Amino acid sequence: MKSEKELQAEWRLAFEQVPTPNNLVSIPEADFKVNIARDRELYEQLGMTGAYFSLQVTGETLEALYQVKDKLPADEQLGIISAYRPSDLLLGLWLRRMRTVQAQFPEWPIEKRIEFGSNYTASPYHPGFPPHARGDSVDVMLYRGGESVVLNKSAETPELMYEQMAFDFFKGKDDVIHSNRLHLQEFMTSAGFIPYEREFWHFGLTPVFPEVKNE
């Protein structure tokens, strides 16, 4: 088994191979409720020197976001909390996920921590390129009348926290939250976005895990 130092070096190298999309554009804050502070805070928490000045996506993705905007009721607004992520942020988030999972489930071997963490954070073993690195994926929320729509609630245990992230978790448990999630997903998918069932807030123009075709 590789040491933690060897694994981190392997992970760093893997993320360094992820290319930057060449057609990124900024999401206009005048048209969407863009939470740029969230990613800037991530940089600070992870001890990085870089800083975001805008959230970016590919041109095609921005067009799809405008389709959602145009279809939403007049009193609702789409909130964007994360979009394109460069390789250094991907690495920082993966390292943090590994530390978090280890603290939450200390009895798990590293292989299980990697497998589990890969479901919630882009891993260096991701088939193809991670969704946020493609520039075609966004993390979103919804505002109604200027107030954020309730899409989740606090969890008492780590296990429940992860379970609640799943889109259908509140079906039959909380009609308001499930209805709000369904409402958001309906408008996102109508513009061509594909949901990620493990994370109710994540949508992309391509699947999180692309199908691997046999040669």
Q: How confident is the model at residue 3 (pLDDT cuts 50, 70, 90)?
A: confident
**How many whole angstroms separate alpha carbon 35 and alpha carbon 104?**
28
Q: Which residue has the tokens 């949901």?
A: 195
The answer to whether the beta carbons of residues 8 and 55 sit under 8 Å apart is no
Q: Tell me the domains of the chain and their CATH numbers.
A: 4-204 (3.30.1380.10)
Q: Which amino acid is at 215?
A: E
pLDDT tens sequence across 83-117: 999 888 899 889 999 999 999 999 999 999 999 99
Query: Could you count the other beta carbons within 10 Å of the beta carbon of residue 136?
Result: 21
Mean pLDDT of 43-56: 70
pLDDT reported for residue 215: 39
For the cut 90, the answer to whether the pLDDT of residue 36 exceeds it is no
What's the predicted TM-score (pTM) here?
Answer: 0.89
Euclidean distance between CA atoms 112 and 120, whole angstroms:
13
Query: 3-state class of 116 per DSSP?
Result: helix
